[in-house]
Amino acid sequence: MEEFYLNLTSLGWNETYQEQAAPYYKDGLIPARVASEQKQLYRVLTEQGELHAEITGKMRFQADGRNDYPAVGDWVMISPRIDEGKAIIHTILPRKTKFSRKIAGQLVDEQIVAANIDTVFIVNALNNDFNIGRIERYLILTWESGANPVILLSKADLCTDIEHKIAQIENIAIGVPILVISSLQNEGLDQLQPFLEEGHTSALLGSSGVGKSSIVNRLIGETVMEVRAAREGDDRGRHTTTHRELIALKQGGLIIDTPGMRELGLWDSEAGIQTAFDDVEEFTKQCRFDDCTHKNEPGCAVKAAIHSGELDARRYDSYVKLQRELKYILRKENHHARIAEKKKSKKVTKSVREKYTIE
């Protein structure tokens, strides 16, 4: 990939970060942006170039969970060793936005997919893997993140009913931009340019095989990301991107490529659900009883809207399912938090005992 000069502004630095960083300058620390992370080893971008970094022992000790570690897109304060190409990360500056999900599997913990993003490109392929329910989930987590969603419908060259699919999405994503592209034919990518201005950070999110890496290659103008064809039969993708990576573009913007996510668990998503399902929420407010369960009560506006066709039954079922999932995660999270607090207390007690034993 062709190298070019980076400055803090092109990396997304602004006055807010400058104010937050001010107390650390006196200690000789400088700002850097996290470009990638693998097993708590980080690659960061600075005005002096790219450095490989680790966190301090103090940060590691004080971390209660994954969200206390740097994530791709984070602004961090580092002590650089430019000649060695290395650095030590001392702190994470407050995050402007963060796209989080529940980590895959049975454990209940937050995984920050990307931080300090302005736009989330929700990428869904126009083939057999097209999935309205999945788009709804991405919209929930995007609204919760604080970033703005844009829906990218990729692989337009494989679809013969594009208008029908757009109409389906418009029913669940009112006011959200919907862009149709084909990386193979290099069509529609110019529509992304307003979201790729200097200092603007966008993230490509979607399941495997939707064409995220192909989009990155087109935007960069050369092949820097491996791509693979989707499986025959079901158009499911194969993982090509193995880790999240922030890439600085020559036109001034930044793009974060992410691995495909088969499992997209909700995390702290109550406000996101309310925004993504505001149409359903409006009907629930019109019910005769405040505690209406929308099952057998008289004067239920939700049941009436489904019967009249104003509200799609599939969409309401999706809303109920997601609300149930969120409540389950919150119960598990509260239990997990209590256990974590006990462990932290034991760790502090042990540290104090060791200190006085040594003295």
Count the domains in the chain: 3
User: CATH number for the domain including 59?
Assistant: 2.40.50.140
213 is in an annotated binding site: yes
Q: Tally the C-alpha atoms within 13 A of residue 131's C-alpha that lie toward its C-beta.
A: 19
pLDDT for 159: 87
Are residue 72 and residue 142 in the same domain, yes or no?
no
Q: Where are the alpha helices (DSSP H) in 204-269?
A: 212-220
pLDDT at 212 over 50: yes
Closest to 267 in 3D by CA, of 344, 337, 328: 328
159 is in an annotated binding site: no
The per-residue pLDDT for range 70-121, each reduced to its tens digit, is: 999 999 999 999 999 999 999 999 999 998 877 655 555 678 889 999 999 9
pLDDT at 149 over 80: yes
Are residue 124 and residue 167 in the same domain, yes or no?
yes
**71, 92, 113: which is the final residue of a domain?**
92
44 is in an annotated binding site: no
Q: What whole-number distance in Å separates Cα of residue 303 and Cα of residue 313?
A: 9
Closest to 231 in 3D by CA, of 133, 127, 104: 127
Are residue 80 and residue 103 in the same domain, yes or no?
no
Q: Report yes or no on 3 lying in a domain.
A: no
157 is in an annotated binding site: yes
308 is in an annotated binding site: no
Q: Report yes or no on 264 lying in a domain.
A: no
Are residue 200 and residue 317 in the same domain, yes or no?
no
183 is in an annotated binding site: no
Q: Report yes or no on 8 lying in a domain.
A: no
Are residue 149 and residue 239 in the same domain, yes or no?
yes
Q: Average the pLDDT over each of 149-153, 198-202, 292-296 and give the range with the smallest value.
A: 292-296
Are residue 310 and residue 287 in the same domain, yes or no?
yes
pLDDT at 194 over 80: yes
Q: Report yes or no on 7 lying in a domain.
A: no
154 is in an annotated binding site: yes
210 is in an annotated binding site: yes
More confident: 175 or 328: 175
207 token code pair: 């399941």
The chain-wide mean pLDDT, for the chain, equals: 83
pLDDT for 339: 46
Are residue 35 and residue 135 in the same domain, yes or no?
no
pLDDT at 226 over 90: no
Across the range 147-175, mean pLDDT stands at 92
User: CATH number for the domain including 211?
Assistant: 3.40.50.300
167 is in an annotated binding site: no
Are residue 106 and residue 49 in the same domain, yes or no?
no
Q: Could you write out the DSSP letters of every residue in 149-192?
A: EEEEEE-GGG-S-HHHHHHHHHTTSTT--EEE-BTTTTBSGGGG
User: CATH number for the domain including 316?
Assistant: 1.10.40.50
**92, 116, 144: which is the final residue of a domain?**
92
64 is in an annotated binding site: no
Q: Average the pLDDT over each of 41-50, 180-189, 251-260, 323-332 and give the range with the smallest value.
A: 323-332
**92, 115, 143: which is the final residue of a domain?**
92
Q: What whole-number distance in Å separates Cα of residue 182 and Cα of residue 89?
A: 40
pLDDT at 359 over 70: no
Q: Report yes or no on 266 lying in a domain.
A: no
Across the range 223-228, mean pLDDT stands at 52
Are residue 117 and residue 217 in the same domain, yes or no?
yes
100 is in an annotated binding site: no
202 is in an annotated binding site: no
The per-residue pLDDT for range 2-14, each reduced to its tens digit, is: 555 678 999 999 9
10 is in an annotated binding site: no
The per-residue pLDDT for range 28-65, each reduced to its tens digit, is: 999 999 999 998 899 999 998 999 999 999 999 988 88
Q: Which helix (H) or strand (E) holds 32?
A: strand 30-38
Q: Report yes or no on 66 lying in a domain.
A: yes
Q: Report yes or no on 48 lying in a domain.
A: yes
Q: How many residues does the chain have?
A: 359
156 is in an annotated binding site: yes
Residue 119 is part of which domain span?
Answer: 98-257
Are residue 69 and residue 147 in the same domain, yes or no?
no
pLDDT for 258: 85
Are residue 120 and residue 139 in the same domain, yes or no?
yes
Are residue 207 and residue 71 in the same domain, yes or no?
no
209 is in an annotated binding site: yes
